[in-house]
Structure 1
Amino acid sequence: MTIEQIYTGCLAEAAYYIESAGEAVIIDPLRETAPYIERAQKDGAKIKYVMETHFHADFVSGHIDLAKKTGATIVFGPTAKPGYEAYVAVDEEVFPVGDVSITVLHTPGHTLESTTYLLKDEHGNPHAIFTGDTLFVGDVGRPDLVQKLKAEVTPQYLAGLLYDSLRNKIMTLPDEVIVYPGHGAGSACGKKMDKETVSTVGRQKMFNYALRSDMTKEEFIEAVTDGLTEPPQYFPANVLMNVLGGVKGIDEVLSVGTRPLTVREFVAAWEGNEALVIDTRKKEDFVQGFIPGSIFIGIDDSFAPWVGALITDLKQPILFIAEAGREEEVVTRLARVGYDHALGYLKGGIIAWKEAGNAVDTLDEVSAQELESLTLLGDKMNILDARRKSEFDAEHLVLAENFPLDTINQHMHELDKHKTYYIHCAGGYRSVIASSILKSRGYHNIVNVRGGYKALCETHLSRTEHKEMISEL
């Protein structure tokens, strides 16, 4: 028996490969199919089942495409109603896989169809559970996402179901059973997941706040519904894509999206399709010169989640600039969250743009030390903190105003185009995104604070003589 966790850091998502005696199962695959097919080929195995723990909200699954290419059967748990051919299992149904078996445990709570898959070894002993978003390491799945599509399914109702699922289906398993969750820290599908992505039932019963043995249902409901932040705006759209199907195959998306375009073709596609131009290079390269009107979302950080949070229309035509050799990576990561309308990339990048005689824009920057010097002069400063409200509330500059990147589209109009704004985040990634969006919308007096809050705290602002500049809440 082979078990492999295939973890994708930018989405904090875990898919799983299970193989026994030449038969394989894939659980919760991402959009791209090649990694799973190649993994099975390495073992000389045939993919028998593609199992989904639930209809995902934070990514578009590759289950339909993978099943078409391999002949595998798509399996969902009880109550699922997919809009395409799939097998909907009943609770405690058993699926043989080589010399092992997988038992369906219906564990509603994160969603109504949420299912945990129990893997039993060659001797019929419980070995591992694949919990999807029912149970994480240190946390449980948020119970509020279904309400975005069905208002009558309240978070409190789902939290009550989740309480029963955990106590009746998960906590009754032997302590040594391995827990393989669907996500790790950084995912928006939970509140406070640990960095570890593997645990055991016993350890979770000891350390997971939601599995406390003496916790009442009322306490549980209050704990898991308290402090929930608004989920990213693309979540409901991804759920519908996973429920209804009908999405493009990944090969088609890649074929169109990775087309190299000359400068002339790039400009024509931009104007003719009202496309959005995303610059995915390193932030340090972007600030030194970029195409006017383009926005920065760097591929080297949480690229796909920020695309999903900021670009409200999943059908938005997209053109992009990328480092040579990373074009397919950009299109793949866009497709993972449902952005299937990439039209191609600028061949030769910013160099080709300049050589064609086109203008470039730059982003003004100051270091943390330079910002400190300006604040000490006593002039009125407009400092915007692009971190999330929770980060801002924990600690921030007294002079700063919270201007979270994830709500920039809703609050941009509150800024004055005639004023100069200094923007920082935690380390410099989000502030460059925010600055680029503002500049693309006509806010030209924007200055990025290089290095962000971390750099600010390492300057004299964190020293005793200037402690009054920082608010520690």
Structure 2
Amino acid sequence: MKIEQIYTGCLAQGAYYITSRGEAAIIDPLRETKPYTDRLDKDGVALKYIFETHFHADFVSGHLDLSRKTGAPVVYGPNANPDFDFISAEDNQVFPVGDIKIKVLHTPGHTMESTSYLLIDENGKEHALFSGDTLFIGDVGRPDLAQKAASMTQDQLAATLYHSLRTKIMTLPDDVIVYPAHGAGSACGKNMSKETVSTIGEQKANNYALRANMTEAEFIKEVTDGLLPPPSYFGANVAMNKSGIDSFEKVLHNGLRAIHANEFEAVAEETGALILDTRKSGDFAKGYIPQSVNIGISGDFAPWVGALIGDVKQPIVLVTDPGLEEETVTRLARVGFDHVIGHLKGGFEAWQQAGFETETVNRITAEDFANQVKIGESKVIDVRKPSEYEAEHVAEAYSRPLAAINDWIKDINPDEHFFLHCAGGYRSMMAASILQARGYHNFSEVDGGFNAIAKTSVPRTDFVCQSKVLQ
């Protein structure tokens, strides 16, 4: 028996590849299927089942492409009703894979079809739990995402999750390994650990939501407290996972169309495409194509695309560092942005060499900020998450989270200069690009963000541990 966790950092997502005596199972595969088919070919095994823990909201699964290529059926737990052929598993149903068994544990609450899969090894021992979005390391799945589909309130879903955890998961042996679908950085929970593997015993001891004497009312209050609004693309991803989508190969083929600099702007205008520049923030600041939005491929790229662009049907043309075109299209497809028309051939350098118009961002150092800012007089906008701001921030700064920029941008006075920062410069450059695309130019963005500002003499509030802020 072999279990491999295939973890994708930019999505904080874990897929699982399991083999036993010539047969394999894959749980929650990502959009692109080649990593899985390569493993199957290398190991000389046949894929028997593709297990889905639920209809994912934060990424588009590769279950249908993988099923078409291998002939393996897609398995969902109870209450799932997708628009394609699948196996509707019953609670406690067992699926043999080689010498092992995978047992279905229906664990509703995050969504009503949410299902965990218990691996029973060749000796009949309960070995590992693939917990999907029901149980994370240090957290549990948020219960507010499926309210409309389930015709339930978040409190009702939370109560359902409470009983799933206590009757199906906390009763398992303490040494059962826990393999969740996500880790820190995912929007599917609020306080996940950076660890991606644990045990039932460790979670019972350390996970706030699994406290032994916790009442249902306490659970509901703690699990629902402090939930941020879900990213706008979540609903579209659920629909795509339920209904079926174009093959990944077709999406990749379209996105890899090379567009010459002299036709790039015309293509964008004719199609209504958004110009998405995925270069590093420092390179973008030095020069970019007017109206471009910067979301760097080197950070949490896909989730921020989903949060800021929102509409998965939005046509997109790309400006990337040469050689990163395929990776960029792939990462966009993972969150359902399938309408990439093409990319600028030769990257931004080709645009410059052609002599076309460019713009820059007024990026200053933290030392310059320290010399220029006047606390109580200057306007400072902090685009970090509320928990980061509450932990510590520049004195008198305004909290304006990047994810809510469409709500607060209208309140900006274009005639009043302001300073803009995040933690390190990644998010503030996204904000800067959006601001300038909408006509706001009277600001200075701080290179290095709060991390660099904290090393200067700029007055700040007292530091509070973020874990305490989240409690």
- Do they fold alike, i.e. is TM over 0.5? yes
Counterpart for residue 166 of structure 1: 165
2:205 alignment partner AA = M
Q: Counterpart of 2:385?
A: 388
Q: Which residue of 2 aligns with 1:287?
A: 285
**TM-score, structure 2 as length reference:** 0.96
Q: 1:435 aligns with which of 429, 432, 436?
A: 432
The residue aligned with 1:150 is 149
Contact 2:112 2:150 in 1 (8 A): no
Alpha-carbon offset, residue 3 of structure 1: 0.2
Per the TM alignment, residue 390 of structure 1 is displaced from its structure 2 partner at its CA by 2.1
State the Cα distance separating 1:223 from its structure 2 match.
1.4
Deviation sequence 1:255-286 (CA, Å, 0-9, x none):
00011111123222111101100110111111
Match of 1:120 in 2: 120
Give yes or no for the alignment of 1:199 onto 2:177: no
> Residue 116 of structure 2 contacts residue 129 of structure 2 at CA under 8 Å; is this kept in 1?
yes
Q: Is the Cα contact below 8 Å between 1:427 and 1:454 reproduced in 2?
A: yes
Q: Where does the alignment leave 5 or more consecutive residues of structure 2 unmatched?
A: 465-471
Give the Cα separation in 2 of the matches to 1:302 and 1:369.
27
Alignment partner of 1:347 out of 345, 348, 354: 345
State the alpha-carbon separation in 2 of the partners of residues 309 and 107 from structure 1.
28
1:207 partner letter: N
Partner of 1:227: 226
| 1:297 lines up with 2:285 in the alignment | no
Q: Distance in 1 between matches of 2:359 and 2:300?
A: 24
1:34-49 equivalence runs, <5 A:
34-49=34-49
- 1:161-310 alignment, distance < 5 Å: 161-245=160-244, 247-310=245-308
Matched letter for residue 248 of structure 2: I
Matches within 5 A, 1:272-421: 272-376=270-374, 380-421=377-418
CA distance in 1, matches of 2:28, 2:263: 38
Counterparts of 1:295 and 1:244, CA distance in 2: 30
How many angstroms does 1:379 deviate by? 8.8
Which residue of structure 2 lines up, in the alignment, with residue 50 of structure 1? 50
Deviation of 1:61 (Å): 0.7
CA contact (8 A) 1:397 1:471 kept: no
Contact 2:111-2:150 within 8 A present in 1 as well: no
Identical counterparts, % of pairs: 56
C-alpha distance after superposition, 1:136-166 (max 9, x if no partner): 111111111002x337311111111111111
- Secondary structure of the 2:35 match is helix
**CA separation in 2, counterparts of 1:310 and 1:375?**
29
Q: For residues 312 and 91 of structure 1, what CA distance do their matches in structure 2 show?
A: 35
Q: In structure 2, what residue type is equivalent to 1:441?
A: R
Q: Deviations over 1:30-53 (max 9, x none)?
A: 111111111111110111111000
The answer to whether the Cα contact below 8 Å between 1:388 and 1:405 also exists between their aligned partners in 2 is: yes
Q: CA deviation at 1:394?
A: 2.2
Change in 2 beyond 3 A, CA 1:88/1:418: same
Compute the displacement of 1:393 (Å). Answer: 2.1
Q: How far apart are the structure 1 equivalents of 2:221 and 2:416?
A: 44
1:139 matched to 2:139? The reply is: yes
Q: Does 1:65 align with 2:65?
A: yes
Conserved? CA contact 2:276–2:318, under 8 Å: yes
Q: Distance in 2 between matches of 1:150 and 1:23?
A: 35
Show the counterpart of 1:451: 448
Q: Indicate the larger mover: 386-395 or 192-201.
A: 386-395
Partner of 2:130 in structure 1?
130
For residue 410 of structure 1, report the CA deviation from its aligned partner: 1.7
Specify the SS of the correspondent of 1:14: strand
* Cα displacement (A) at 1:375: 2.2
By how many angstroms is 1:312 displaced? 2.6
User: Contact 2:231–2:310 (CA<8 Å) still a contact in 1?
Assistant: no
Deviation per CA, 1:422-465, whole angstroms, max 9, x where unpaired?
A: 1000111000000011001111223111110111111122xxxx
Count of aligned pairs between the two proteins: 464
Shift of 1:171: 1.2
Give the AA of the match of 2:309. I
Structure 1 counterpart of 2:404, one-letter code: T
Instruction: State the shift of 1:470 in Å.
Output: 3.6
Structure 1 SS opposite 2:373: helix
For 1:162 and 1:57, the matched residues in 2 are separated by 18
Contact 2:281 2:296 in 1 (8 A): yes
CA distance in 2, matches of 1:437, 1:309: 13
Which whole-Å CA distance do the structure 2 matches of 1:287 and 1:310 have between them? 19
In structure 1, what is the equivalent of residue 468 of structure 2? none
C-alpha distance in 2 between matches for 1:150 and 1:172: 29
What is aligned with 2:467? none
Task: Name the CA distance, whole Å, in 2 between partners of 1:116 and 1:44.
Answer: 27
State the superposition RMSD in angstroms: 1.3
Cα deviation per residue 1:374-412 (whole Å; 9 max; x = unaligned)? 125x79322111112222222211231112110111221
Mapped contact 2:138–2:207 kept (Cα < 8 A): yes
1-side partners of 2:357 and 2:282: how far apart?
Answer: 19
1 CA distance for matches of 2:35 and 2:164?
32
Distance 2:263 2:95 in 1: 52
Distance in structure 2 (CA, Å) of the matches to 1:54 and 1:40: 24
Q: Give the Cα separation in 2 of the matches to 1:22 and 1:391.
A: 48
Between the aligned partners of 2:213 and 2:441, the Cα distance in structure 1 is 57
CA contact (8 A) 1:28 1:52 kept: yes
Gaps of 5+ in 1: 462-466
Contact 1:439 1:446 in 2 (8 A): no
Q: How far apart in 2 are the matches of 1:73 and 1:344?
A: 33
1:287-323 CA-partner distances (Å, limit 9, x unpaired):
1111111110000001110100011321111001111
Following superposition, the deviation at residue 421 of structure 1 comes to: 2.1
Give, in angstroms, the shift of residue 371 of structure 1.
1.1
Q: Comparing 258-267 with 451-460, which one deviates more in the overlay?
A: 258-267
The answer to whether the 8 A contact 1:180-1:198 is kept is: yes
Match of 1:92 in 2: 92
- The letter for the 2-side match of 1:64 is L
